[in-house]
Structure 1
């Protein structure tokens, strides 16, 4: 698998990841990602060079996506924590055709490796407050639960982190282009 930085032209595919994941999650009985995410928000992340796609080959459709940035959600992380040396995983999604292949684990390992390579101490994420299956997945991959914001207005209030660390993630990253601007 290769990892490439998403481009503006990838926006329809990134939105499809969300709608496909929402449909699958609905079958599992959760409303995670049921509300459409603003395309403008995803596009802004793409323009900042924070969105990545995993592909079998450059010409193939994306198998998965991950956003890695410094954007701490202040409804989840305290101002002190947000000021800490951390990177944040957002919008991790794997196409159902690749479910069970370990691709999500690979992406988390790459994100932790990338955070360590850039000198960040923590790899953090937040997850849907009511999705215990997803929370268990992250815990099984080395994340420690920090807190859960139970405010009804905060749907992704389960916060977790693990130390960033170098890892053999298995991605060919030679195709990663530097972000524009």
Structure 2
């Protein structure tokens, strides 16, 4: 399997990939990702070079977005002053579930962040998705805190406010890295 940078012509594939993940989450009883992701926002993130895809033959097996930027109101000024890379939209195709691809993607992200000089790999997870939170804890993340207020819409409840972090480090992830 290889990891590549997403291109603008991957937009439709990535939107469909997210819809597949949202449908799976719904079947599990989760309210995560029930609103369609805005295509223009995803395209801007792709053009910024922050979206990566795992390709297995002709299939997109997974995707991850890495950024030095974060949603406002989640992390403290002290935390933001520490060199960090933020993970968002980690998704694995159902066809590749159970193969530790998500863990390998997180190791790849940690390795990349380490080589870029970041001290922390950080993320925010869906506040009500306790299974996802346990998954990140098993992947070596430490729960920092959960932010409940200050959501993007009218300052209401935040839907993705479970914060986790782990130190960056060199890692063996087994993905053929075609991103550099």
TM-score (norm 1): 0.93
The answer on whether the counterparts of 1:75 and 1:154 sit within 8 Å (CA) in structure 2 is no
The answer on whether the counterparts of 1:74 and 1:82 sit within 8 Å (CA) in structure 2 is no
Does residue 38 of structure 1 match 2:44?
Answer: no
Q: CA separation in 1, counterparts of 2:5 and 2:147?
A: 32
Structure 1: gaps (5+ residues): none
Q: CA separation in 1, counterparts of 2:73 and 2:33?
A: 17
Q: CA deviation at 1:75?
A: 2.6
Q: CA deviation at 1:17?
A: 1.7
Large movers: runs of 4+ above 3 Å: none
Q: CA deviation at 1:78?
A: 1.9
Counterpart in the other structure of 1:176: 179
Q: Deviations over 1:108-140 (max 9, x none)?
A: 000000000111100000000000000000000
User: How many residue pairs align between the two structures?
Assistant: 174
Q: Deviations over 1:66-123 (max 9, x none)?
A: 0011122223112332232000001000110000011101100000000001111000
Counterpart in the other structure of 1:104: 102
TM-score (norm 2): 0.93
Superposed CA RMSD: 1.1
Q: Secondary structure of the residue that 2:19 maps to in structure 1?
A: helix
Does residue 133 of structure 1 match 2:136?
Answer: no
The answer on whether the counterparts of 1:76 and 1:158 sit within 8 Å (CA) in structure 2 is no
Does residue 19 of structure 1 match 2:39?
Answer: no
Structure 2: gaps (5+ residues): 150-155
Counterpart in the other structure of 1:8: 8
Q: CA deviation at 1:22?
A: 0.8
Q: CA separation in 1, counterparts of 2:38 and 2:80?
A: 23
Q: Name which of 131, 156, 167 aligns with 2:160.
A: 156
Counterpart in the other structure of 2:28: 28
Q: Secondary structure of the residue that 2:60 maps to in structure 1?
A: coil
